[in-house]
Structure 1
Amino acid sequence: MAGDRLLATVLRAYQNAPNPTETDKIFGTTTSLLTSLNNPLNLSLLTSHFLTARAIWQSPDGLRTCLRIISIYNTASIHVRKNELENATLLPGRPPVGSGVHSEDWARAIAKGTDDRSSRWQHVLVLTGILMGMEGDDRRSLSRSLRSTLEQAVVTAANLALQESVRTGPLERGAVILALTFAFPLLHESAKQILDGNLLLPAIVEAMLGEEGLQHGDFISPIANDVVPGSIIKWQPDSPSVARIQKLESRPLAQNMGPLSRLASFAVQQAMDPNIVLQAHEALLGFTAALLNKWTHCPLSAIDLTVESAALSPEVLLGPWPVLWQLFKKILYAVAATIQAIVGRSLLDPYLRNDAIAATTAARTLHILRNLSFISTRQGASSFQVYTFTYLTSLDIITRYPDACVSFLRDTQPPSPQASNVVPPPVIQALALFYLNIAEHLPLSLPTRACEDLIVTPATAYLAPSTSWLASPANTPPSSLTLELFEAAHSAILSSLSCPQHSTLAASLIPFYVDALLSSFPSRISPRQFRLAFRTVMQISSPPFPLSASHPDLAEALLETLRFRAVEGASTDPLPPSEQAAASSEDPASEQSALVLALVDALPHVPLHAVEEWLTRAAETMNAIEDPRLRDGVRRRFWDVLVNGEMDVERAAIGVAWWGTAGGREMVLHGYPRPEERNGGGEFLMSGALAPGQEREGSRL
């Protein structure tokens, strides 16, 4: 009787006006009754009235209330199953633990309580709670048939709720999506296939970006009102903007962005109408564009990673700052996971992969990633498989369409860094880095004029000495992206030079590029990068590239420039150890030895008629290195080039002859001068022969 009186009391409490204090008691009492009532009819009655209770649903606390409904039935299910297992081991005559209702009877009774008096979206919450409690965490509380029935009930209720667009608003659709994020991993594949992707995908995007999700990025704008500028920027942890971010982070959907993005990926594949997928893609593009715009106008966006500790107060560094960036990374992962599914579908769907749609989809994806570049460029945030697949696949698609490549580069071209000596804010640098990284992949798809205007010109601006902000002033730490920008500019130019159809462009560009390369080493480029860049330029200048036919002397001119720098102007002091240098070379290096190594690396690309001459010059330049350790490293590389197959057959034959009969062995291994210098003339002599002028005057015997 005590249970019946408590049931009557809680049913009356359901009809009271909303009261936060009483609401918590109602939830607690309901949970207790769900595990203690022993009459299935009362369980159905309790659930039916619970889903229509004025005290709860007249003013719900957003999706938090929906999450509590799921939690109540999840908790009750776990206890019912636990009590059932304990009762199975009780000795005869002992009173049962809990209500004594079996799990299957209890689940059926609760399901009957989801009747026509309540809405379909509320049914999804209850049924999800039952499924989680009975079958979650590898619990097997229900028979196979009942579990299958329960799974289909969840899916059917979700579809019907999403179809009732007149009766359901954003909150109700968000509740369905929230429930499915919990139920989806427990659904069998056959049940998942019943989900209506055409209804599910728009609801997911709405929930992800809406007020119960990421709030369309509106949490950024209030930050400007709470930031106190100065030599040390202050942002009080108890300010309204921080409270809003913390409240957003605590919302159920924001806490479940991972499961939500996986559900979104499924919905993309499940949607029968490809236009629904394109609409979701467009919505994500609009969201990321708004996010980028709002962050650009936020004063905190001007703080570079390298100066955070000096520019921000300790309270900010330990409080809202990491919370904000954690939220940004969560946005990046969720958006990347969703558009990855869209890109993947565009490879298979006949509608999305046709020429009229594929280029637009790829460009739109790259625009989305560009809008998020201020996040992805921060401390390697983009180094996860989903992002990499989405980025590279979109590049592969767009390179098939030259007009789309030109259009994308024109739309995203960053301002020239030479326009101002002021260091651009990190957001602009991130956009420029993304542009250069994209440009590296597109020269083959562009006409020469477009390649020059959209790739070479922007990239050379980051290599020119006049770009003063790239060379950070004294006592000023370089930007966190300075090195990456410089390397990306080099890669973009080398990519353009490597395209045979741009040989006319290469002829005028190579001298400038090599000059920029030499002026940048070793202060702004590592030995490994310098050697790779110079070797690439040498390869472009040699057969079979067209440039070697129109400018046959260019390759030797480049080699002579490098040799002269190594002999006359290079420092012989070991380069200071750095993380990059240590990672790129096993041997210590000086500026001189690195230049000589670059000269040796270029030997496989020397014009055929000059191979023997440059083998000799390279050996002489190597012997000019005074430090034995550095010289030994170059000697090992020299031998490696000769024997490891880097040279083609003809050059290898010349190398063998040079090594055996032209004095190459003695020059490389023992540091001897040229044979003609060693013998005092230009002719070769047999071993032991007397050089001219050294004949014996006569026998003394």
Structure 2
Amino acid sequence: MSPTMLPASKACEPAISVYVTGTIQRLLTTVLGLYRDVHDDVKTEQIYNTTGTLLTHLSNPLNVTLLTSNFLTAPAIWKKPDLLKTCYRIISIYNSAGIHVHRNETERANRTLPLAPPPRSGGGLGTEQWVRAVVKGADDRSERWQHLLVLTGIFMGAEGGNRHALSNGLRKTLERAIVTAANLALESTAQQGGLHEGGALALAINYAFPLLSESSRAAINADLLLPVATAALLGTEGLNQGLFLAAIDVDVRQAGDKFMWPEACASFRHFHQLQGQPLMVGLGPLTKLLAFTVMRARDVRRILSLQEDLVQFSHRLLQHWQGHKLSELEVAKAATYLTPETLRTTWPALWQFLKRILFTVVAVQHAITSRSLLDRSLGSDGMAPKLAVSSLNTLRNLYFISSHSGNSAFQVYTFTFLTSIDMLVRYPDTCTTFLQSIKSPNSADIPAHPLQRTLDLFYLNVAEHVPLYLPPETSEALIVQPATAYLTHSAPISGRMVELFEAAHSAILSVMSCPHNADLIISLAPFYADTLFRSFPTHISPRQFRLAFKTMMQILSPPFPISATHPDFAEALLEMLRSRAGSANPAPLPNLQAEEAAASEQSTLVMTLIDSLPFLPLNIFEGWLTLTADALNEIADPSMRDVAKRRFWEILSNGEMDVERAPIGLAWWGSRGGRELVLFGRHEEKREEFVMSGAIVNGRGESRL
């Protein structure tokens, strides 16, 4: 067979190989020359692309080493103003090159058939040979933080995405090289205070960290990494102290009676660019890295410094939002006061980014709070109250975000919030001082600004958890009085006001639930009961009314001290409830929650009577079983009446009654007519006809005998 009859791939392969090799050599010579000078952005982009091509096509390991060594010292690369983008690009180039080298090696290994096509590209180097050549290029001519960029890139290219292209030995060697380079660079940065190098370090470690083994992660100097990662997150190359909010406010305009923040304005472009910054792209992993360093750092002063940085950042963010035009909007009414374009594009984009910020800060705060539970020095009496106050201040500053659309409904937030309160209440004086510091200056009035009402909601949510640890006079001044302003609000409520109204109820009930507040309860109970009756059904839902009244009945019943000094309180409230039920509206209530069954004002009051039965004094318990059964059968709607009957049986049988009331309830149900009264109600007794057994009775009921 003549050469021209051979398959094209076989006939042309030597010529193609020679051509490609010559082209690659010329490219290498050209790019090495271009490295020496600074060029415009277009030319610089060409240099990046050519370098990436050469890394995957060079067949001589020495040339790979030479290229890397010159690349890490090239003025064309490192004399650019945006250093962090350059660092990101370095990692990306070596990551992509590593992926291509491994892919080409795999294709060559799988080329078993004689007529199979040749590999698409590549210089023929194996992955491990290529990795070793690149590592040799990270020499003494360049800095350790630059080495870390290259090492991270090739590590990601070889081991990321479940590729596992390296042997165990080389992988461990590469991990040790990454940790060594990171620690040496961190030490140099700590000594010289290099801000740009710190951002580059945080970027590189952030990308390498998920791929490192646990032992390698533990070997990183957490004490030096902590301030570097903090500066990367909150500094100019990260969230930049929330200045983007101030820039947005400049471009917010009013169009008629609506606000607009157009997509084409400069602040939205800047906002979009901020989210594309290298550190912002990896915000989630950076948060995990920072949380890891918090748990590993030995110097607690660095943790305290981080805590203070979080407080200051969140405070600035709140200040920027406080002066923002968009903060004047109730979130629930955004559709009414925003233009369609803003509502569709820029508004949701803003809140999505704010939500990311919330998750980031809370995750780091969670790590600090967790560490304080494990560390004796952080959990000491000298530090614990300060950490608790700082944590709650941070959460308060971010509450305008976390209260939006249920953003706080995640486990990390709940743990951080409740644990911080648990730490705080161990120190009543500090707790009192904290409440005074965040209470609205004029708590007797409801503030007009939506943001201030949001902060009031946070205040009431905190206040709900602390009355047990405060003296009565403090609870009255710092909890009862602020809550009263919202309880006595008579105008129709919606949106945030519903949450405030419910939080005020919870705060008052919390104060009343404390046994040491007996004197305060005596004066508070009549007012609260009246408020509760006036609030239903216009201001609170059936579920909330039932829960609040049940809690109040429990407070006024044994073993609470007030039941001994004022034994008639509980029954007086029940009489009010039964009286209201007799004249209540039987029509179904509108706008119930999805999880709530159909209910009317009448059925809700009767269900509340049933809920209160387990707390009644023994001397009136059986009598109220009968009265409640009578009220139950007065419910007009048959389906609601059946629900009440099932609830009555449940409360007698499911363990809600204690050992004293359960036998009384059982006897009442079984042998004293309770079952018939609940199931069938009272019926007028008919006159019985006394006839002789077996007698025939006529149609008029008369015996025919």
1:584 to 596, 619, 641: 596
Partner in structure 2 of residue 695 of structure 1? none
> Residue 659 of structure 1: CA displacement?
3.4
One-letter identity of the residue aligned with 2:246: S
TM-superposed CA distance for 1:495, in Å, is 1.4
The code of the aligned residue for 1:273 comes to D
Q: TM-score, normalised by structure 2?
A: 0.91
Closer/same/farther in 2, CA of residues 636 and 204 from structure 1, 3 Å limit = same
1:505 — aligned with what?
520
The 3-state SS of whatever aligns with 2:644 is helix
Aligned match of 2:14? none
Higher mean C-alpha deviation, range 647-656 or range 288-297: 647-656
Distance 2:193 2:34 in 1: 26
Question: Counterpart in 1 of 2:24?
Answer: 3
1:619 maps to what in 2?
629
- How high is the TM-score relative to the length of structure 1? 0.91
Does 2:195 correspond to 1:170? yes
Task: Measure how far apart 1:417 and its partner are.
Answer: 6.3
Q: 1: CA distance between counterparts of 2:227 and 2:351?
A: 27
The equivalent residue for 1:186 is 211
Q: CA deviation at 1:182?
A: 1.0
The range that moved more, 454-463 or 85-94, is 85-94
Corresponding residue number in structure 1 for 2:270: 244
- Give the drift of 1:2: 3.2
Q: Report Cα offsets for 1:105-150 as digits up to 9, x if no partner.
A: 2111111111121111111110000100011111122121111111
Structure 1, unmatched stretches of 5+, are: 473-477, 681-685, 690-698
Query: In the alignment, is the contact (CA less than 8 A) between 1:18 and 1:54 conserved in 2?
Result: no
Quote the Cα distance in structure 1 between the aligned partners of 2:383 and 2:152: 38
1:15 equivalent to 2:36? Answer yes
The correspondence for 1:574, drawn from 588, 601, 615, is 588
Q: Where does residue 160 of structure 2 map in the other structure? A: 136
- Give the aligned partner of residue 68 of structure 1: 89
Does the Cα contact within 8 Å between 1:19 and 1:55 map onto a contact in 2? Answer: no
The amino acid across from 2:165 in the alignment is S
| Distance in 2 between residues matched to 1:390 and 1:328, nearest whole Å | 19
**Pairing 1:664–2:688 present:** no
CA distance 1:458–1:147, change in 2 (3 Å): same
Match of 2:574 among 540, 554, 559: 559
Question: Would you say 1:50 and 2:65 are equivalent positions?
Answer: no
Aligned residues: 668
**Cα distance 1:627–1:90, how it changes in 2: closer, same or farther (>3 A)?**
closer
Matched residue, 1:287: 313
Alignment correspondent of 1:696: none
* Contact 1:417–1:462 under 8 Å retained in 2: no
Does the CA contact (< 8 Å) of 1:231 and 1:311 recur in 2?
Answer: yes
Gapped runs of 5+ residues in structure 2?
A: 1-21, 692-702
1:640 is aligned, of 650, 664, 667, to 650
CA distance in 2, matches of 1:309, 1:145: 60
Distance 1:688 1:337, change over 3 A: farther
**What pairs with 1:24-39 in structure 2 (closer than 5 Å)?**
24-39=45-60
Cα distance, 1:361 vs. partner? 0.9
Matched residue, 2:413? 387
Distance 2:675 2:416 in 1: 52
Q: 1:86 to 1:654 in 2, by over 3 A?
A: closer
CA shift for structure 1 position 333: 0.7
Query: What is the SS of the residue equivalent to 1:533?
Result: helix
State how 1:406-485 maps to structure 2 within 5 Å. 406-416=432-442, 418-419=444-445, 423-425=448-450, 427-464=451-488, 467-468=489-490, 471-472=492-493, 478=494, 480-485=495-500
User: For the Cα contact (< 8 Å) 1:448–1:502, is it kept in 2?
Assistant: yes
CA separation of 1:700 and 1:105: change in aligned 2, threshold 3 A: closer
Alpha carbons of structure 1 residues 176 and 700: separation in structure 2 relative to 1, 3 Å: closer
Q: For 1:468 and 1:485, how far apart are their aligned partners in 2?
A: 13
Return the letter of the residue paired with 1:322.
P
Moved more, 284-293 or 442-451: 442-451
Q: Which amino acid aligns with 1:592?
A: Q
Partner Cα distance (2:316, 2:355) in 1: 16
Identity of matched residues, %: 52
Preserved CA contact (<8 Å) 1:18 1:59: no
Secondary structure at the aligned position of 2:124 is classed as coil
- The 8 Å contact of residues 541 and 592 in structure 2, kept in 1 or not, is answered as no
1:371-404 Cα offsets, whole Å, 9 max, x none, are: 1100001111111222122112212222222122
CA contact (8 A) 2:388 2:423 kept: yes
Counterpart check, 1:80 vs 2:87: no
Q: For the residues of structure 2 that align with 1:345 and 1:451, how far apart are their CA atoms?
A: 31
Q: In structure 1, the residue corresponding to 2:287 is in which secondary structure?
A: helix
Query: In structure 2, what is the equivalent of residue 693 of structure 1?
Result: none
Whether the 8 Å contact between 2:198 and 2:232 is mirrored in structure 1 is yes
| 1:294-341 deviation per Cα after TM superposition (whole angstroms, max 9, x unaligned) | 101000111122221221112212222122111101100111111111
Aligned mates of 1:143, 1:402 — CA distance in 2: 59
Which stretch shifts more, 87-96 or 436-445? Answer: 87-96
Aligned to 1:100: 124
**CA distance 1:35–1:618, shift in 2 (3 Å):** same
Amino acid at match of 1:529: Q
Match of 1:333 in 2: 359
Equivalent residues of 1:62, 1:212 under 8 A apart:
no
- Do structure 1's residue 536 and structure 2's residue 551 form an aligned pair? yes
User: Corresponding residue for 1:598?
Assistant: 608
User: In structure 2, the residue corresponding to 1:233 is in which secondary structure?
Assistant: strand
> Match of 2:93, as an amino acid?
I
> Shift in Å at residue 90 of structure 1?
4.1
Give, in whole Å, the separation in 2 of the partners of 1:284 and 1:444: 30
Q: Within 2, Cα distance between the matches of 1:573 and 1:195?
A: 68
**Is 1:224 matched up with 2:245?**
no
Shift of 1:512: 0.8
| Aligned Cα root-mean-square deviation (Å) | 2.4
Pair 1:235–1:619, CA change in 2 (3 A): same
What is the distance in 2 between the residues matched to 1:327 and 1:504?
A: 49
- Is the contact made by 1:566 and 1:621 (CA closer than 8 Å) also made in structure 2? yes
**Which deviations, in whole Å up to 9, do the C-alpha atoms of 1:626-661 show, x marking residues without a partner?**
333332222222222223332223323333343355
| Structure 2 counterpart of 1:249, one-letter code | Q
Residue 488 of structure 1 deviates from its aligned partner by 1.2
Cα distance change of structure 1 residues 687 and 667 upon mapping to structure 2, 3 Å threshold: farther
Moved more, 621-630 or 262-271: 621-630
State the secondary structure of the residue aligned to 2:374. coil
Residue 292 (structure 2) pairs with residue 266 (structure 1)? yes
SS in 2 for 1:87: helix
Q: Report the CA distance shift for 1:21/1:626 in structure 2 as closer, same or farther (over 3 A).
A: closer
The 8 Å contact of residues 18 and 58 in structure 1, kept in 2 or not, is answered as no
Q: Tell whether the 8 Å contact from 1:162 to 1:168 is kept in structure 2 after alignment.
A: no
Contact 1:161–1:168, Cα closer than 8 Å, also in 2: no
Amino acid at match of 1:351: S
- Judge which range, 533-542 or 35-44, deviates more: 35-44
Q: Within 5 Å, which residues of 2 pair with 1:285-324?
A: 285-324=311-350
Q: Structure 2: which amino acid aligns with 1:573?
A: A
Deviation at 1:414, TM superposition (A): 2.8
Distance in 2 (alpha carbons) for counterparts of 1:313 and 1:700: 90
Native 8 Å contact 2:85 2:278 kept in 1: yes
Bigger shift: residues 342-351 or 161-170: 161-170
Instruction: Quote the offset at 1:158 in angstroms.
Output: 1.3
Instruction: Give the counterpart letter for 2:170 in structure 1.
Output: L
Aligned position for 2:663 = 653
AA of the residue aligned to 2:238: G
Distance 1:174 1:602 in 2: 62
62-71 or 280-289: bigger deviation = 62-71
CA distance in 2, matches of 1:519, 1:21: 72
Distance 2:156 2:356 in 1: 25
1:237-267 Cα offsets, whole Å, 9 max, x none, are 2222212211111101111110000001111
